[in-house]
Amino acid sequence: MTSTLESTPEADRTVREVGIAIIGSGFAGLGMAVTLTQRGESDFVVLERAGDVGGTWRDNTYPGAACDVQSNLYSFSFAPNPDWPRSYSEQPEIQAYLRGIADRFDVRRHCVFDADVTSARWDDDARRWLVTTTAGEFRARVLVSAAGALADPTYPDIRGLDSFAGTVMHSARWDHEHDLGGERVAVIGTGASAIQVVPAIQPVVDSVTVYQRTPAWVVPRTDHPVKPAMRRLYRFVPGLQRAVRAMLYLFREFLVIGMAKNRRFLKPVGKLARAHLHRQVRDPKLRKALTPDYTIGCKRILISNDYFPAVAAPNAELVTAGIAEVRPHSIVATDGVERPTDTIVLATGFHVTDLPIAEKICGRDGRTLAGVWSEGMVSNRSATVAGFPNLFLLVGPNVGVGHTSMVYMIESQVAYVDDALRTMDAEGLAVLETTTEAQDAYRALIAEKSKGTVWLAGGCASWYLDKHGHNTTLWPDFTFRFRKLTKKLDRENYVGVPAGAPSEHSEVAA
């Protein structure tokens, strides 16, 4: 099998044969690509809709964008970086890290940039995925979707938003050409993105109005620069950085006890958040408006030292009344107050429970993944779906985490997918497909683990739950349990068709 990677117009008209097509080059896509490269697999492409690697860390360039997990943990275990300038890195450093990974592990030569996947269809006769992109067509034995869950912004359905005459930008699609200096800016949303945007822009704007639907629990950010001596130490004693990483990991896993097992253990975290609010906000009315009425942890716990001071600043206003309508030069709240506005920042999140990539992937019987998931996302071990042979999902259903590093989960998933690919090779399988029974069992496992957790019973609405109130996004347990569950392919939950065996669903049980 050959893979022609030159992106010449002539090549674009031909269908390129590849072993594995990976969609996306964020942490997940890169992690998969590095793993394949490391074991000598070279017959793969990484289809990237943008012009560079990085995924969400390439796209989220809003002022103040930073990670709320320490970099010693929020990085690949196989590529520690002794040179992180701060304990919690900012977006440019993380993006530089990911670009460095692509270079160091020679992944770029597999990347096809500006290749937006418009459809991926399983051809049961050919036993191949036919992947159509804006940079040409690919026929792949295996498709790995690493398109990400925080990839496609959600634009709110607010009356009159289209009629706004000023600038509207989503936090994930920041317009750096637009100068906010001296403007009256409205920020809609108070999630992880908003609480980073608001303090970053508050000092330069004329005024900032924060439209809050639900207040967030916010705890202090224990961020600090990493001293050069410490960086040297990390460089020469890598075991030290590994030890710090392990400590951070364990500390964060303790939160799961409170979130998923016994709510009592969340009490100290709640106290910390209340004390933080009290210390930073003196005005009792504002303090009350910023106090959540749901259990801490139900939504993502946010970390910030400058959000509350920014909202309490003289040129800031917190609006808790809903938005009635947007007019060409103003926003009218449901209490009737109209506020003149020059720019609207939508910090309104992403399509997480309705992943847009799912609309583009068509399985054996012609149904899209979105169609199969219309009543909620289902999978076996968060990675495979019955009816979608040779398809593997990274950062798909029930892999999300609110308390620790997503990179840990991604590495668990990559190991699982890699074991599946090795199994296919070792057994000479043309097709590997999970069973509906395995999928049902996994759904039941997730439902059982989710019962009584703070995400389901914490008294809030969040993007962790789908429209039916089911947890289809989060892994509701310790992350080491996910790693154990996905350490090896659960071969008994798959049907494999050997190469050369008759096509027509000639299922050979494992």
| 189 vs 389, beta carbon nearer ligand N01 | 189
Coil vs helix vs strand at 74: coil
What's the min distance (Å) between Cβ of 153 and ligand N01? 8
Instruction: Decide if residue 307 touches ligand N01 (CB under 6 A).
Output: no
Segment 438 to 457, residues that bind ligand N01, using CB under 6 A: none
| 330 vs 435, beta carbon nearer ligand N01 | 330
Coil vs helix vs strand at 159: coil
What span, in angstroms and rounded, lies between the C-alpha atoms of 280 and 353? Answer: 34
Other CB atoms within a 10 A radius of the CB of residue 191 amount to 20
CA dihedral over 152, 221, 27, 449, signed as positive or negative: negative
Among 33, 67, 256, 430, contact with ligand N01 (rule: CB under 6 A): 67
- Is the distance from CB of 22 to CB of 92 less than 8 angstroms? no
What's the min distance (Å) between Cβ of 303 and ligand N01? 8
Segment 157 to 176, residues that bind ligand N01, using CB under 6 A: 158, 171
Among 349, 363, 458, 476, contact with ligand N01 (rule: CB under 6 A): 349
What's the min distance (Å) between Cβ of 347 and ligand N01? 5
* β-bridge partners, 225: 86
| 385 vs 474, beta carbon nearer ligand N01 | 474
What span, in angstroms and rounded, lies between the C-alpha atoms of 46 and 48? Answer: 6
| 121 vs 300, beta carbon nearer ligand N01 | 300
Instruction: Decide if residue 89 touches ligand N01 (CB under 6 A).
Output: no
Instruction: Decide if residue 68 touches ligand N01 (CB under 6 A).
Output: yes
Binding segment toward ligand N01, per CB under 6 A, in 63-71, 98-106, 272-280, 412-420: 63-71
CB-based contacts of 444: which residues, under 8 Å, 6+ apart? none
What span, in angstroms and rounded, lies between the C-alpha atoms of 190 and 168? Answer: 17
Instruction: Decide if residue 215 touches ligand N01 (CB under 6 A).
Output: no
What span, in angstroms and rounded, lies between the C-alpha atoms of 182 and 180? Answer: 6
| 97 vs 122, beta carbon nearer ligand N01 | 97
| 442 vs 463, beta carbon nearer ligand N01 | 463
What's the min distance (Å) between Cβ of 33 and ligand N01? 22
Report the alpha-carbon angle 194-223-209, nearest 5.
20
Coil vs helix vs strand at 465: strand
Instruction: For tokens 């099998």, name the residue.
Output: 1
Coil vs helix vs strand at 457: helix
Applying CB under 6 A, the site for ligand N01 has a residue count of: 24
Binding segment toward ligand N01, per CB under 6 A, in 185-193, 234-242, 374-382, 472-480: 185-193
What span, in angstroms and rounded, lies between the C-alpha atoms of 405 and 251? Answer: 12
Instruction: State both tokens at 63.
Output: 């002022």
Instruction: Decide if residue 301 touches ligand N01 (CB under 6 A).
Output: no
Among 108, 127, 139, 213, contact with ligand N01 (rule: CB under 6 A): 213
Instruction: Decide if residue 192 touches ligand N01 (CB under 6 A).
Output: yes
What span, in angstroms and rounded, lies between the C-alpha atoms of 128 and 430? Answer: 9
Binding stretches for ligand N01 (CB under 6 A): 66-68, 150, 156, 158, 171, 188-194, 211, 213-214, 300, 323, 347-350, 463
